[in-house]
Structures are given as C-alpha cells and as structure tokens.
Amino acid sequence: MTITQQKRAYPDKTQAGPIRLDHNENPLGPSPLAIKAAQQALLNCHRYPDNHGSALKISLATHLSISPDLITLGNGSEGLLELLSNTYLTTKNSAVLPNYSFIGIKKIIQHTGTQLRIATNTYQYTTTEHILAAVEPTTKIIFIVNPNNPTGTYISSLDLNRLLEQLPSHIFAVIDEAYAEYVEDTDYPNTIKFLSTYPNLIISRTFSKFYGLAGLRLGYLISHPKIAKHLNSLCLPFSVNSIALAAAQASLYDHAHMKLSLAVNQQGRKQLMQGLKKLSLTMIPSHTNFICVNLQKNSLAIYKQLVSDDIYVRPLYDYELPNHLRISIGLKDQNQRLLEALYKILPQEL
C-alpha cells in the first residue's frame, strides 16, 4: 500500500487531538473492508444476528486451519474468560495466575469467590516453575497471558510445552493470546498445534487489538470440541452483534491491512525504543504493540504532566509497578509527540 493509498484508507488517523496510547489499540483502526462490511450490516440491524456466528466461525476456522467445532464466540475475550470462570470455578477450588498479569483476569477470578493463587514470578519473566509451584490439589484452572500484559514478554514454545506436560490433565490451562498476532519470534508457541496433545488447553483471542475492532467487542475461544460444544451451549443468545460479526469476518480477508498493521507496529516500536533510550530509561523487551517503561521513580507526576499535554498512557499502580508506564505504540507523529513531551518533562523529574 502506497502512502497515498494509506491516506485514502485511513484519512483521519493523523489529525491533531488527544494522543491515546493507553489501551493498546491498533492506531490504524479497523480494516477498510471491515468498515464497509459493518456499514452494510448496519442496514439490517433491525434483524437479530446469527445466534451461532456460523459464517465467521467458518472464515476464522479457514484462517487458522482448524475445525469450526473448536470455536466459541463471545462479547469480547473478557466475557469469554468470565464464562470459563463461571463454568468451571467454584468456592471449593482455586485458580492460578502469574503475578503482574492482566488485571481483568484477577477481577474475574475474585468475582467467582474462587481462591486466587498468585505465581510469584518476577515482573520481567514467568517460568514453568513459578506456575507449577502455585498449583495445589484444589486448582482447577491456570491462566497465562502470553504475550503478557503489561510487560510484553512471552513464554516460549519449549517452556509452555514443558508446563503442559507436567500439568495434571484435570486442570485447565487457559492461554490468553490477545496480542499473539504481533509476535514474530520463532520460539513463540503455536498453541493451536498443542490442542491435539493437551485437551485441557483453552486458547483465548480477540479482534480488539490487532484487528482494530475494540469498540465492537468480539473475542473467541479455541478448545477441544467437547469443551467448545459445552461452552457454546452456555452462551447467552445473540451475545455477539451482527455488525461485529460482519466486520470481523471481513477483516480476516484484508491481508494488506494486516501487513500494514505489523509494519506500523515494528517501525513505531523501534522509534519509541530509540527515543526512550536517549532518556536513559529502562524498558522490558516487548514483543507486542506496547512498551513497559521503568521511570526509576514514582510515575504519577509524569503521568499527570502527560495528561496535561493531552497524551494518555497507562500507569501501572494496580499492577504493583508504581514506577512504570505502559505505552501503546502509535503512529509516527503520535510517538513523536509523546517523546517530545517526555524530553521536556524527564530532565526535570529524573
């Protein structure tokens, strides 16, 4: 796609205004094909959507080279993680979650009344040993965010396979792969290939991040056919709207948008990391569309100054990382505005 074509496809993405680098969204927005499909679906919004999402399941199955029988669709991946928790967790068992992991899962577990066991890993790395050490006889599910949010690190294929080998078969391993499409490292696990060996494996993915459909709320689970059949039977009727179904299906066919999204992310990550290094800041090597930065002091004052400049990033107090900010990778001019603001702020703060 040429620069002229990009401007036509994404006409409003570089206008002045707030710089939103706090929710790890695709700065390009959705695929032009997805927008067109959503507009067409809107014409029939007086009709209920396909209760099973059959057309999307078929397209998604083709895209992933799996059977549609493995797929469960839902109103965002968090809604599906909540479905899993409400289905399999009780007050009599426990769930394991590594420390410094996506806080939404922690809240979901707590709402079930299940005992939450935190794996005591460091914020940079989670290992098989950390997770298995937290497993107890009452454990029913282990949750792993891979790549991890908010750190951007991941568990390798070798380590994940070792974990699944040692995990008792009655314990579900739920892998949240919200940012999987951004990872290009060869040792990142292809978890779908693990399904035939480990029927207790459940994979969670979303159309919110890479595909730029966060506002439409659509996620999906991939699991053993028996598990998927059971979960599908528990889903509320019409839980995924017709506009989301149409946009998601169309986005799977826009390979140019996928390629451009990866390229923009690669360039933006390089731009931000180089700029942040000039400020002598420490960063966790990221494999996603965000960077976790250590400011070496409490981040609140810096965060507030960025907000006053109409720039929004994510403080990590609720992750017990008070010195850190999570910065989503934006478009080139957005990244530059952030760096320029930090250049003005940080010499006075550090």
Q: Residue count of the chain, please give it.
A: 350
Distances (CA, A) of 50 to 159, 206, 236: 39, 19, 12
Say how far apart CA 18 and CA 334 lie, in whole Å: 9
> Phi then psi for 193, rounded to 5 degrees?
-70, -20
**Tokens for 7?**
């401007």
- pLDDT score of 125: 74
Establish how many alpha carbons lie within 13 A of residue 116's alpha carbon, considering only the half-sphere containing its beta carbon. Answer: 18
Residues with Cβ within 8 Å of 72's Cβ and at least 6 positions away in sequence, in order, are: 80, 220, 221, 223, 228, 231, 232, 235
Listed by start position, the domains of the chain span: 32-252, 255-345
The answer to whether 268 touches 332, Cβ cutoff 8 Å, is yes
Residue for token digits 């299940």?
Answer: 114
- pLDDT score of 13: 52
The tens digit of pLDDT for each residue in 228-279 reads: 999 999 999 999 999 999 999 999 999 999 999 999 999 999 999 999 999 9
The tens digit of pLDDT for each residue in 284-304 reads: 989 999 999 999 999 999 999
Distances (CA, A) of 252 to 211, 280, 289: 8, 40, 19
CATH architecture of 255-345: Alpha-Beta Complex (3.90)
What percentage of the chain reaches a pLDDT higher than 70?
94
- pLDDT score of 7: 43
Residues with Cβ within 8 Å of 51's Cβ and at least 6 positions away in sequence, in order, are: 237, 238
In words, the CATH class of domain 32-252 is alpha beta
> Phi then psi for 301, rounded to 5 degrees?
-65, -40
Return the ∠ at Cα 135 (arms to 129 and 141), rounded to 5°. Answer: 115
> Phi then psi for 188, rounded to 5 degrees?
-70, 135
> Residue 105: helix, strand or coil by DSSP?
helix
**Of residues 306, 289, 302, the one with CA closest to residue 346:** 302
- Sign of the alpha-carbon dihedral angle for 42, 47, 51, 54: negative
The answer to whether 293 touches 276, Cβ cutoff 8 Å, is yes
- pLDDT score of 240: 96
Q: What is the mean pLDDT of each run of 10 residues along the chain (350 residues)?
A: 44 69 98 98 96 97 98 96 97 95 95 94 79 96 97 96 97 98 96 97 99 98 98 95 98 98 98 95 94 95 97 96 97 97 78
The tens digit of pLDDT for each residue in 42-62 reads: 999 999 999 999 999 999 999
H helix runs in 278-312, sequence order: 300-308
- pLDDT score of 208: 98
> Residue 119: helix, strand or coil by DSSP?
strand
Q: How far apart are the first and last CA of the chain?
A: 42
**Of residues 56, 20, 109, 66, the one with CA closest to residue 218:** 56
**Of residues 175, 277, 256, 258, the one with CA closest to residue 209:** 258
